[in-house]
Structures are given as structure tokens and as C-alpha cells.
Amino acid sequence: MVSMVSYASRTYFIKTVSCPNFADDARSGYVCCLSPDGALTKIAESYYRPNGLEIVDGGAALVVADTTQKTLFKGAWDAAARRWTDVQPWAKVGGAEGPDGMAFGANGRLYQAIFGDGVVRVVNQDGKVVEELFTGGMNPTNVAIDPSGKLGLVVTETERGRLLSFPRLNPGAALFDGGDAWD
């Protein structure tokens, strides 16, 4: 999975890579950061299936979902050094399959698609699930926040092949531009 964020004239990529053999229980998954100059840096390893990530807290932290562990891991993020440190389990989000894509809102909440459960779980800043949004299909794969505010929270749901909009939520986009790290 590649997550891309684009602000002003700069584009930043963070790429998660995991073993495609879902039956394998080895901790062979890892997380890489691809900087605008093309440098690829492995920033974490020994995960089962890292799948979904988001820069949060104004760029100070990175959250990565491990689908197999049904857990979100959070640690300090240093964009200039491309380093993820002090990583700890932050939220147990559960799920038949587990967490997939996510988005962080300006309201301080993380919106986490839970593949196999048909929900987006809303996680507060303390790592507690505070709400569930039902998608009407069992396989939400990703979420995004419409920065214009018109569509609110947008969810891809693959069981029924739909793109859903929750305009009433309008959590606001918490975009991180990388600061001066990659100028």
C-alpha cells in the first residue's frame, strides 16, 4: 500500500510493504518511507501485515495498522530523519479481518476502516474506540476526508463496490505538509 500526501508543490510518500502470503504467520512485514528525492528508507520491521497508515498530531506522530494483530501502533515521527521511534500499541480496533485504511480528522479523531466487519471505527486521541459507522457492506477498505467539506468522510466499500459519503460528519482534513523537513 502506498499512501501519498500532496501539499503546495511538494508530494510525500510513505509506503507500507508486507508479505503477500496471508497464510504465513511470520513477522515479515515492514514499513518504508519514500522521500521526494527518491530515497527509500525502511522505518519499521517485524510486523505481520502493516496495512494502512496516517501522519497525525500535526506531523509529530505516525500511526500504522497491523491487520493481523488488529492493532494500531503509534510512535514519534521525524520527517527530516525519516525515523519512527517510541512505537507502542495505541489502539485495539479488532475486526474479523482487521484494520485497513485510515484518515485523521482535524477534530483529533482517527477514522479506521475495519475490513470484514462493515464498519469504520472512530478512535479518540487516547486510543479508545468511541463510535462505529456502519457501511452497509462488510468490506470497507479505506477512508478519506474531503478537504472541501462537501462529502465529509468518504469510504470505499468493496463487497458492494461502492464509494460512500458521510457528509454530516465533516471532521475536517488534518493535512500535514511535512514542515521544512523536505524542502
pLDDT one-digit tens code per residue, 98-122: 999 999 988 899 999 999 999 999 9
Residue 99 lies in a domain: yes
Q: Cα 34 to chain center, whole Å?
A: 16
Q: Are the C-beta atoms of residues 120 and 129 closer than 8 Å to each other?
A: no
Distance CA 47, CA 52 (A): 13
Query: In total, how many domains does the chain have?
Result: 1
Per-residue exposure over 89-128, b if at least 16 CB sit within 10 Å of its own CB, e if not: ebbebebebbbbbbbbbeeebbbbbbbbbbbbbbbeeebe
Which amino acid appears at position 9 of this protein?
Answer: S
pLDDT-derived band at 8 (thresholds 50, 70, 90) equals very low
Mean pLDDT of 118-131: 97
Q: Are the C-beta atoms of residues 61 and 55 closer than 8 Å to each other?
A: yes
Residue 177 lies in a domain: no
pTM: 0.85
Residue 175 lies in a domain: no
Query: What's the chain's average pLDDT?
Result: 83
Q: pLDDT above 70 covers what percent of the chain?
A: 81
pLDDT at residue 13 greater than cutoff 80: no
